Amino acid sequence: MMIFLGQMNQLTTFSLSMEPRIPAEVLNIFANMPHLVDISLCLIDVLDKLPAEFPQSVRRLVLYADVIKQDPMPILEKLPCLVMLELSGYKGQTMCCSSQGFPRLQRLALRSFSTEEWRMEEGAMPKLSHLTLWGCEKMSKLPDGLLHLPSLGHLELIDMDQISEDDNTLNELRRKGCEVFGGAAHICMVVMVPEF
């Protein structure tokens, strides 16, 4: 399968779902697919780290894994065209988005992350308008960095009951006009349609 997929270097869309699980090595073939715009992978078993090279043309990336060991943001934030990102399974305690990272990202969904601290440098994700956090149980409070996102207008919290209504960042976002939706009652995945 890897040999076959590696020869398809003209693809613009790549979607793969497999049982029992997608081998992590599949991600290495993307270095030979320079025209990819849309990537969807569900479900990868254990991913030590993301490959250093992704097609620079990618605009939508959906990657669900049981386990992602290393912070995926330092690699993904360098993709210049990325508009929509859905990730699941990062098990690290900290996550960092650097200044000037994710220059075009508009929609971000993070599911089943073990992150306790999410650091955001000022200038990161300047166009992010929609953020969904789902089942990130170890995130006891919303990161202060959300307040520095100039375009954030929609925050959805699913199975995030540990975030108190008294959370300072939550209340400040509301004061700034950000719509906040939340609660454990949500049972379906948010479908995010990219705005190209």
5-184 to CATH, choices 3.40.50.150, 3.80.10.10, 3.40.50.2300, 3.40.190.10: 3.80.10.10
For the chain, give every domain's residue range: 5-184
Minimal CA–CA distance to 105: which of 59, 141, 72?
A: 59
Residue 20 pLDDT greater than 60, yes or no = yes
Q: Which residue has the higher pLDDT, 192 or 43?
A: 43
The span from the CA of 152 to the CA of 176, in Å, is 10
User: pLDDT digit string (tens) for 132-155?
Assistant: 999 999 999 999 999 999 999 999
Tens of pLDDT, residues 38-91? 999 999 989 999 988 889 999 999 999 999 999 999 999 999 999 999 999 999
At 156, is the pLDDT very low, low, confident or very high (cuts 50, 70, 90)? very high
Read off the pLDDT of residues 90-125 as tens digits, 9 standing for 90 and up: 999 999 999 999 999 999 999 999 999 999 999 999
pLDDT band at 186 (very low <50, low <70, confident <90, very high): very low
pLDDT at 100: 93
Top pLDDT among 108 and 9 is at 108
Q: Is the pLDDT of residue 193 over 60?
A: no
Residue-by-residue DSSP string for 38-95:
EEEEEEEEEESS--S---TT--EEEEEEEEE-S-SHHHHTT-TT--EEEEEEE--SEE
The pTM of the full predicted model, rounded to 2 decimals, is: 0.90
